[in-house]
Amino acid sequence: MSTVASSDAASPASPPLASPSEPLPVRKRWAVLAVVLAADVLDLVDATLTNIAAPTITADLDGGHGLVQWLGASYALALGVLLVVGGRLGDKYGRRRVFLVGLTGFTLTSVACGLAPSAVFLVIARLLQGAFGALLIPQGFGIIGAVFPRDQIGKAFSAFGPVLGASAVGGPILAGFLIEADLLGLGWRAMFLINIVLGGAALFAAVRLLPRDTGDPATRVDGIGSGLLSAAMLGLLGGLIRGSENGWTLIPALLLTGGLLSGFLFWRRQHTAASPLIEPSLLKNRGFTSGLLLGVAFFAAVAGLLYVLSLYLQQGLGRSPMGAALGLAPLAAGIVIASIACYGLVGKLGRRLVLTGLLVTLAGTGWLLALVHSSGTSAGSWALVPPVFVLGLGMGTCFGTVYDVTIGDIDPREAGSASGSLSAVQQLANALGAAAVTTIYFHRLGTSDVRAATVLSLVVVAAVTVLSCALVGLLPRGAPEQRQH
């Protein structure tokens, strides 16, 4: 659910195309929008499924704690690393072509996930699924910008919030339902195999409806930078997960060192590449870099929190996957309500709204921490609803505002690069957070019980949220003027 904001924010990685001289008929325009929305829904639902299904999948494939962590990190990792590259490839080869390749690959890798015979196979399939998602998602806003007249683009974009919000709520519930329904004896596999129908229908419609475009062959794609970023993230995640599962021996230390070294080389590459993934001028902007750091900290913390909450509900309180999904429903509802409510406030309140969201998140975390500490594994179902809902309100407030404020004082010519970079960083933070917080959870679980592991994880999330509050004063005061209407 931490990707509620990311799916609609990811698309600006590629600037929208101009509207065609001969606009499409009205009905066909809205049909194109439906295809783009369907792709985003597939992405968001598949990103949130494993929040609920991880314990069930791990038990079936005998994957251990490492599989739980990789399930949370692998999809977001590939999506984040390749998101900007996917946007550039759409610019270079045409968005229709790249969209179709992404949707085809996403559907096929979903089938591979559903048929996975082992934990390793499943993780690789999830990485590939995220990679194809990175080809698919950035094309959406550009395609919409090409088919809708300028005076109707805002109306078209307004459909994203409610649809993606409903998907964020429905994804985990769908996962819980399919696991418990055990359709055709497939169990958790039905979550992925259902994309044969959903992805196939979307692909059929996309082939028939999406307008053709030629792209710009002169567009450059920094493959070396993407490779270094991939090595950095794989090293850091591999080190965290290997260390938490098998002990902090030489191998996880080498993986972490290699990840840090690759990260440094990636940073250097951004200052020397002809077409860097992150423009060097953006890194010199104090407001942008502060927002980047705040976003990494906050999104990593809440991504890990979502996994820990699911584990607590299933391992601690003994709930079924469907019960855990319903237990997280108040959080999703809070995210949707706050995201919609805050859209019109960010122009008036700016960074004060970000601070409000962080403080509400901190209050919800503290409330939940006190409840788990006092009740342990005997907490009642209704007792969890208020703190989980408050958490959702805080998270939704930040999801919709952190990055809007972060780009508040950048040059308008850098807006496309900034939006794409921030969306990619959010996904990478999701991957790191899912690995890091669950590493803390499982390390504590190895020496104590679910209650103690959950309490420690919540303490870490609260500490990171406090650190994020300290960065708010360095953000620009408000969002760009075009977002204030």
Q: Do domains 1-213 and 282-485 have the same CATH topology?
A: yes
What number of CA atoms fall less than 13 Å from residue 150's CA on the CB side? Answer: 3
Cβ(372)–Cβ(483) under 8 Å? no
Contact assessment for residue 85 and residue 131, using Cβ atoms and an 8 Å cutoff: no
Where exactly are the structural domains of the chain?
1-213, 222-274, 282-485
Q: Specify the pTM.
A: 0.81
Annotate 97-110 with b (16+ C-beta within 10 A) or e (fewer). bbbbbbbbbbbbbb
Which pLDDT score, from 0 to 100, does residue 8 have? Answer: 40
**Which tokens belong to 217?**
């062959």
pLDDT for 19: 44
Low-confidence ranges of the chain (pLDDT < 50): 1-21, 482-485
- DSSP for 181-240 reads HTGGG-GGGHHHHTHHHHHHHHHHHHHHHSPP----TT----HHHHHHHHHHHHHHHHHH
Quick one: pLDDT at residue 464?
Answer: 93
> How far apart are the C-alpha atoms of 306 and 437, rounded to whole Å?
10
> What's residue 351's pLDDT?
87
How far apart are the C-alpha atoms of 345 and 397, rounded to whole Å? Answer: 10
Terminal Cα distance for the chain, rounded: 27
- CATH architecture under which domain 282-485 falls: Up-down Bundle (1.20)
Matching CATH number, 1-213, of 1.20.1250.20, 3.30.530.20, 3.40.30.10, 3.20.20.70: 1.20.1250.20
CA–CA separation, 278 vs 353, rounded Å? 26
Measured CA to CA, the distance from residue 205 to residue 35 in angstroms comes to: 7
Distance, CA of 104 to CA of 83 (rounded, Å): 17
pLDDT of residue 23: 63
Tokens of 432: 């790191």
Residue 9: which of 419, 412, 347 has the closest Cα?
A: 419
pLDDT of residue 4: 46
For residue 362, what are its two tokens?
Answer: 């901190």
Residues 70 and 52: their CA atoms lie apart, in Å, by: 14
CA atoms within 13 A on the CB side of 52: 31
CA distances from 189 to 1, 36, 50, 67, 115 (A): 20, 25, 11, 15, 7
412: number of Cβ within 10 Å: 11
